[in-house]
Amino acid sequence: MGDWVESIPYIPDRVKYDTQQALAQNSISEAGLPEAFPAQVSSEMVWDASTIHLDGRGFVDDDRCILNLSRENLKEINDALEHFKTLDKPLKSLDPTTFPLPSLHATLRSVSDNLHRGTGFSLVRGIPVEDYSREDNVIMYVGLSSHIASIRGRQDHQYNGKPMDVMIAHITDFSSSVEPSLATLPAYTDGEVIFHTDTGDIVSLFTLEEPIEGGESLIASGWRVYNELAKMRPDLIEVLATDWPIPSSKKAGHIIRRPLIYHQPASDSTSERILIHFSRRSFSGFGAWSHSNKLSIKQAEVLDMLHFLAERFHVAMPLRKGDMQFVNNLSMLHARKSYKDGPHQRRHLLRLWLHDPQNAWEIPDALRSKWDKLYAETASHGWQIFPLEPEMRSAGKASI
């Protein structure tokens, strides 16, 4: 067997992984952690299923990360909706001043605090989506989320073939409208999505409709995964912290080289941090987006370990109709179970990529240009649009 792996599957092979781990115990490198990387990270953001309160079905039920909206909260949100509609402004104008929540604002700011200094994920529960039009639901989602993180990231650079800043994405199964062989993003199918990170500081979802079965959201503390990996295989932390060859999904043949994890030492105002940014799809390909991308044996091994450790430590939550989920995309890993739609009930979520200037973490230089494409005004492609109907991102389908 050579020192390189020619290809890896999108979904890791559990049996193969367990076999490799048993064999690896006899040949683990004596290499230590990279310089300055901690043996363990200590924080409320380090958790697993044993330290997050779960309900009788094993789903998250922890007051630190769930906000159940009261009747008074819902009235205030409705009042803010009606106020914004009287302004006759475009949706890009939604912010805490145009969507005022005087009583709820402080609570939503504490949600941002929890994302950046607490458990790293939060759920705002209870919007009666069936009582509102699609446009009203979009306004409420964008308006409420602006109190948590006021800057929204671009999710596409074109709409209907024209240059635009697409600020909201619809996450649903597009297989009935797009040839399955052309799909390149697993989020736009009804299949399993394995543990990964998105782009941006905060990834948020708002459930407009649930599937008839499955589709639970899975979240794992990347810092808990880091601690276990640093204890078991410090040599693989070194692998993650060095440059990886990442094929561009937009430019054929173009390779981006950067690490998958980053260390930020503690300062007078911030605690020590490990930042994680990766997607297995970048190396395995998916659907119509396939490529040959050699990885070292250790690189392939650590990608498997990231997934299976996250699977071991994760918590699950069903995203019910009216739920808004917010996840720290720099410290948490997330995944999704496969699901089944019905003829008249199809899973449908909205997604935002958010940034809170007051609580935002420093972004490593290697990720700066990628983040600027989302958030920097100079990277705009034109008018901001918030599509009301599902449309697959241009990155989600291959050209015919």
Number of helices and strands in the chain (H, E): 9, 22
Burial of 51 (0-12, 13-18, 19+ CB in 10 A): middle
**pLDDT the model gives residue 18:** 85
d(CA 177, CA 183) in angstroms, rounded, equals 11
| Arithmetic mean of pLDDT, 244-271 | 89
**pLDDT the model gives residue 249:** 66
Look at residues 114, 42, 51 and name the one whose alpha carbon lies nearest to residue 273.
Answer: 42
Confirm if 218 and 203 have CB atoms less than 8 A apart.
Answer: no
**Higher-scoring residue by pLDDT: 38, 175:** 38
**318-366 pLDDT, tens per residue?**
999 999 999 999 999 999 999 999 999 999 999 999 999 999 999 999 9
- Enclosing H/E stretch for 176: none
Task: Name the region of 160 (left: φ>0; alpha: ψ -120 to 50; beta: rest).
Answer: left
Q: Which residues contact 271 (CB under 8 A, 6 or more apart)?
A: 43, 117
Q: How far is CA 250 from the centre of its chain?
A: 20
Confirm if 273 and 267 have CB atoms less than 8 A apart.
Answer: no
Q: Is the dihedral of CA 355, 357, 363, 369 positive or negative?
A: positive
Q: What are the residues facing 256 on neighbouring strands? A: 246
d(CA 337, CA 194) in angstroms, rounded, equals 8
**pLDDT the model gives residue 398:** 41
d(CA 316, CA 219) in angstroms, rounded, equals 6
What is the CATH T-level fold of the domain 14-19+33-396, as seen in this structure? Double-stranded beta-helix (3.60.130)
d(CA 317, CA 325) in angstroms, rounded, equals 10
d(CA 219, CA 328) in angstroms, rounded, equals 10
**388-398 pLDDT, tens per residue?**
999 887 765 54
Q: For the beta carbon of residue 210, count every other beta carbon within 10 angstroms.
A: 21
d(CA 250, CA 239) in angstroms, rounded, equals 26
**pLDDT the model gives residue 303:** 97
Asked whether residue 306 carries a pLDDT value surpassing 50, the answer given is yes
| Arithmetic mean of pLDDT, 132-153 | 99
Which pLDDT band holds residue 400 (cuts at 50, 70, 90)? very low
d(CA 188, CA 250) in angstroms, rounded, equals 18
Look at residues 38, 37, 8, 54 and name the one whose alpha carbon lies nearest to residue 305.
Answer: 8
Asked whether residue 290 carries a pLDDT value surpassing 70, the answer given is no
Give the whole-number percent of the chain exceeding pLDDT 90.
82
Q: For the beta carbon of residue 290, count every other beta carbon within 10 angstroms.
A: 12
Burial of 77 (0-12, 13-18, 19+ CB in 10 A): buried
Q: Which residues contact 14 (CB under 8 A, 6 or more apart)?
A: 308
| Arithmetic mean of pLDDT, 307-316 | 98
**pLDDT the model gives residue 291:** 64
Look at residues 271, 267, 279, 269 and name the one whose alpha carbon lies nearest to residue 223.
Answer: 271
Contacts 24+ apart (CB under 8 A), 276-279: 276/197, 276/222, 276/225, 276/226, 276/330, 276/331, 276/333, 277/197, 277/329, 277/330, 277/367, 278/196, 278/197, 278/303, 278/306, 279/196, 279/197
Residue 76 has phi, psi (to 5 degrees) of -65, -40
